[in-house]
Amino acid sequence: MRSQPASMRDVAHRAGVSLSTVSRVLRGAPGVAPEVRRRVQHAADELSYVVSRNASGLVTGRTGRVAVIVPFLQPWFFGVALSGISDALREADLDMLVYQVGETRAREGWTRALPLRRNTDAVITVSMDLSEEECQRLDDVGVPMVLVGQCAPGRASVYIDDRAGTAGATQHLLNLGHTRIAYIGSRREEWSSGSSRHRLEGYEAGMAAAGLTPWSVSKATGRTGGELAMGELLSDRDPPTAVLAEFDGLAMGAHRILRRSGVRVPESISLMGFDNHDAAAVLDLTTVDQAPYDIGLTAGRLTVGVLDGTARSDSHVEMPTQIILRQSTASPRGSRGLSS
């Protein structure tokens, strides 16, 4: 309650020892008599004393903080990923600084607008789709960097195998007996990352392996895009019996159109998403899970490892995806699929 929070000197005084002893104890450094150690601990507790990372960092050069940079904080994915990162950093007693870059990213200097230099031990970027130039600018701040959701050669990265994800999803639909499988994706102009490209490629590869011709449509991004795309598919002379969407948002838009049109899922059309969005469970949507929490946890631990020196700063970790089977996919009517 005192307005002047206790300092190390206060603790030293109270414990009847010197500053350095307190420092040693509180850092867990060796070479202190057990009895003295206990006394110091006790004094610190009584004063609710906590070491100022500010001051200790000044001398050690380590801040005890890791900056996490995200484009947005609102989309479901980021909260979950941050949760994993947070848990991993907490294990190593590191604090998490979160920067939402958002639209300001357009303003060229965002990498320097952030007080990173000297204020952070490492930087984790999440789904930032950094250009090589931006990467270099971040290199410039002189701290280790870990990229999440992006695979950059020579830099620590954690990402999922998007290609395998959609390939597996396509296989799932093929196994059910579908052959007219359409793909709804985002428009090429809006691709910020390799992710969109990889997902499309996975689908195409899956189709090709089965000797089928890929059939993909791209409208806008987001739910509306899904609505538009599904509208187009439903207007086709011979509509697909199964639809795979690049991400759940698109699938949800598609689902809405299907509901409104009275087309039954999965009886008439099977629908499959990607991401395992929160709302996918609500819609009983079969989807591909990318375990964002695990991604975050892995990225966080990798960061700790790089700081420790126990992990290389160019390690790449590819996380597996997993199909979550729900009610929105089934064999087409009259098919010879697995389930018939």
Partner DNA sequence: CTGTTAGCGCATTCAC
Partner DNA sequence: GTGAATGCGCTAACAG
Question: Measured from the CB atom, is 9 or 259 closer to DNA?
Answer: 9
Residues in contact with DNA by CB under 7 A are 7-9, 16-21, 23-24, 26-27, 29, 31-33, 35-37, 51-52, 55-56, 58-60, 118
Question: Measured from the CB atom, is 86 or 111 closer to DNA?
Answer: 111
Question: Measured from the CB atom, is 64 or 194 closer to its own copies?
Answer: 64
What residues between 229 and 258 interact with its own copies by CB under 8 A? 252, 255-256
DSSP reduced 3-state for 186: strand
Question: Measured from the CB atom, is 197 or 256 closer to its own copies?
Answer: 256
Question: Measured from the CB atom, is 50 or 209 closer to DNA?
Answer: 50
Answer yes or no whether residue 79 interacts with its own copies by CB under 8 A. yes
C-beta separation of 147 from 158 below 8 A: yes
Output the six-digit token pair for 277. Answer: 């969005």
20 binds, among DNA, its own copies, none (CB under 5 to 8 A by kind): DNA
Sign of the dihedral defined by the CA atoms of residues 193, 199, 200, 202, in that order = positive
121 vs 54: CA distance, rounded Å: 13
Please state the closest distance from residue 18 (CB atom) to DNA, in A. Answer: 3
Question: Measured from the CB atom, is 117 or 333 closer to its own copies?
Answer: 117
* Distant-in-sequence contacts of 162-165, Cβ < 8 A, 24+ apart: 162/194, 162/195, 162/198, 162/199, 162/202, 162/321, 163/198, 163/199, 163/201, 163/202, 163/205, 164/202, 164/320, 164/321, 165/199, 165/202, 165/274, 165/288, 165/290, 165/321
Please state the closest distance from residue 250 (CB atom) to its own copies, in A. Answer: 12
337 vs 75: CA distance, rounded Å: 36
What residues between 88 and 117 interact with its own copies by CB under 8 A? 90, 95-100, 102, 112, 115-117
What single DSSP character describes residue 286?
B
C-beta separation of 274 from 248 below 8 A: yes
Q: What is the dihedral of CA 216, 220, 224, 227, to 10 degrees?
A: -20
283 binds, among DNA, its own copies, none (CB under 5 to 8 A by kind): its own copies
Question: Measured from the CB atom, is 117 or 259 closer to DNA?
Answer: 117
Q: Which range touches its own copies (CB under 8 A), out of 16-24, 63-71, 191-199, 317-325?
A: 63-71
Among 17, 123, 130, 283, binds its own copies (CB under 8 A): 283
Answer yes or no whether residue 201 interacts with its own copies by CB under 8 A. no
Sign of the dihedral defined by the CA atoms of residues 308, 97, 279, 226, in that order = negative
Q: Which range touches its own copies (CB under 8 A), out of 68-76, 184-192, 301-309, 331-339?
A: 68-76
- Write down the H helix ranges in the chain: 8-15, 19-27, 34-46, 53-60, 76-91, 110-113, 132-139, 162-175, 194-209, 222-234, 248-261, 278-282, 292-308
Answer yes or no whether residue 53 interacts with its own copies by CB under 8 A. yes
User: Which residues form the interface with its own copies (CB under 8 A)?
Assistant: 1-3, 5, 48-55, 57-58, 63-65, 72-76, 78-80, 82-83, 86-87, 90, 95-100, 102, 112, 115-119, 139-142, 223, 252, 255-256, 278-279, 281-284, 293
